Amino acid sequence: MNTTVRSGRPRRREGVWLRQAGTENAVVDPTKDSVHLLNDTALAIWHLCDGDTQPEEMVAAICEISALHPDVVTEDVTRILGEFDRAGILEWVDE
């Protein structure tokens, strides 16, 4: 299955912050009084949402250290970014 990655560079929305306690990682959004738990992959993607890194670059880097097929990684990255987007904890910097 081919998945198209949204163009632009994702950036963590100002005001939200990452809380790490033990093995638990969560993004806290005080403006909405909400907490979003992250698994290990989502945590790594969250780290890369710096407003500078394109989703395609995220995919390429993950493929470099894993044996996963690019289509699988693209699907995962797209899904995770979509979840961040829907949760309102992300904003996109246009090209």
Partner 1 sequence: MSVQDDQVRILLADEQSLFREAVRVVLESEPDLRVVAEARDGAQALAEAERLEPDVALVDAGLPNTDGLQATSEIRARVPGCRVLVLGTQEDDLLTLVGALESGATGYLTKECPLAELIDATRSVHRGETLVPPRMLGPLLSQLVHRRREQNEAVKLLEQLTRREKEVLALLADGAGNDRIAQELVISPETARTHIQNVLGKLGVHSRLEAAAFVVQNDVFDELIGARV
66 binds partner 1 (CB under 8 A): yes
Please name every residue paired with 11 in a beta bridge, in sequence order, or none if there are none. 50, 91
58 binds partner 1 (CB under 8 A): yes
67 binds partner 1 (CB under 8 A): yes
User: Could you give the C-alpha distances from 52 to 8, 34, 58, 95, in angstroms and in order?
Assistant: 9, 26, 11, 10
Q: Which of 5, 26, 28, 61 binds partner 1 (CB under 8 A)?
A: 61
Tell me the window of 7-15, 26-34, 54-62, 84-92 that interacts with partner 1 (CB under 8 A).
54-62
- Closest contact distance (angstroms) between CB of 33 and partner 1 is 26
Please name every residue paired with 24 in a beta bridge, in sequence order, or none if there are none. 21
Phi-psi region of 75 (alpha: psi -120 to 50; beta: other; left: phi over 0): alpha
Number of residues in the chain: 95
Residues that bind partner 1 (CB under 8 A): 20, 23, 25, 40-41, 43-48, 50, 53, 57-58, 60-62, 64-67
